[in-house]
Every structure is written in C-alpha cells, then in structure tokens.
Amino acid sequence: MTDLDITDIFQDVVNKLSQDLEILYPDGKGGTKVIRSPQMNFIFGNGQYIKDMLDTYSKSSTQSENKFPLIALFTPINEDRSDPDYFSKAKVSLIIACSSRKDWNNEERKIKSFKNILRPIYNRLIDVLLENNHFDWDFDKVKHSYSENYSYGRYGAYTDSGEAVSEPIDAINIRSMEIKINNLNCRRK
C-alpha cells in the first residue's frame, strides 16, 4: 500500500487547475492579453525554500518565464492520522502569487493582479479542490481564511528570517485550509 502525499495531491490539483482557466495578463504595452490554460508553477516548502526557488528561477532565462503564476504550499504539514474514517486531516496554508510592479498603486494592483489573474486562479483552485475525490469536504465548502496582500508588490515579500524575495509580487494568502483526505481503497495484508 502506498501512502498518499499531500504535496503530490496538490501538485495534481494545480496541474488540473489550468484547464478551463482564463486570465488576463499584461501585454507589456499597457494592455492585456487573454491567456487560456496558463501554465502554473507549483512549489512546496517553507517560506525560505520558496524564496530560494523563485530566486533560482529568476537567474535562469529558461525558467524565469514559467515561475508565475505560482501556487505554493507551505510545509511542514501536520497531519492527524488518528481518525479511522480518513487517511489524514490537516490544515494547510498556500499562497497564489503573480509578478507585480513596485510603481503600481493599489487601484492598479486590484485590476492587473487580483481581478485579472489571482482571483480567477483562486476560484478555479476551489472548484478543482471540490471536484477532487481525494478530499472530503463538509457541505461542499472548503473552509479557510483568505486575504489579498497588496503590500508585497509595493514593499516586498519576506521570509521568516527577513530575506526579501527578489522581485515584487502580488498574492492571495490562504491560511488554515481544513482538508480531510479520504482513505485509500485498498486492504492491508
């Protein structure tokens, strides 16, 4: 019997998320272009690891283009495996991020980052989570806290140790998402 891994499940969710997703991305000329089924980047780890990976992507011309939009799953994840009805229960935290600019004001961020990119990704993420048969949701509701962070783009994002992410981002923070992972359909021998 193989164990389920929460990071693998979320990688699958992020891979499926881009299907049926459209975002409006800045075209570099002051306008926007429609991106259908955008490639999503997925990273898991603590804040320092996520920052280090983004810095590594920034240094590589081949990976730099694919680092955003990003969904990052924060680890470690403390799983409760004591309930026989579920494989595990946990509370997870994620961030949905896109590239930003320090010279944008909050009104520009609201449209260019949140309305055009981050909120559509968030809405699709919730839909895909609800459709995924690995999870059991109470009353078809994904319980979590949600916040839009406008300050990352203007003042920078920092790790717990105070190191700055190499470029401005705008992000939706999802905290304390309550997940229940269904038992595997196999018998122990």
Look at 75-84, 126-135, 165-174, 175-184 and tell me which has the smallest mean pLDDT: 165-174
When divided into structural domains, the chain yields a total of 1
Instruction: Look at residue 187 and tell me if it is in a domain.
Output: no
What are the CB-based long-range contacts (under 8 Å, 24+) for 119-123?
119/172, 120/21, 120/22, 120/23, 121/17, 121/21, 121/23, 121/40, 121/69, 121/71, 121/96, 122/96, 122/146, 122/172, 122/174
Sole residue written with tokens 């991020």:
97
Domain-located, residue 159: yes
How sure is the predictor about 158, in pLDDT bands with cuts at 50, 70 and 90? low
The Cα 20–Cα 70 span in angstroms is 17
Residues of the chain with pLDDT > 70: what percent? 88
Domain carrying residue 139 = 6-182
Q: Per residue in 97-107, pLDDT tens?
A: 998 888 899 99
Residue 188 placed within a domain? no
In a domain, 1, yes or no: no
In a domain, 52, yes or no: yes
Answer whether residue 154 shows pLDDT above 80.
no
Residue 160 in any domain: the answer is yes
Q: What is the pTM of this model?
A: 0.90
Is 104 contained in some domain? Answer: yes
Question: 104-117: per-residue pLDDT in tens?
Answer: 999 999 999 999 99
Confidence at residue 185, expressed as pLDDT on a 0 to 100 scale: 59
Instruction: Locate 45 and state its tokens.
Output: 């780890």
For residue 68, being part of any structural domain is answered with yes
- pLDDT confidence tier of residue 159, bands split at 50, 70 and 90: low
Give tens-digit pLDDT for 2-35: 567 999 999 999 999 999 999 998 887 888 999 9
For the domain that residue 108 is a member of, what is the CATH number?
3.30.2000
Least confident of 108-122, 135-149, 151-165: 151-165
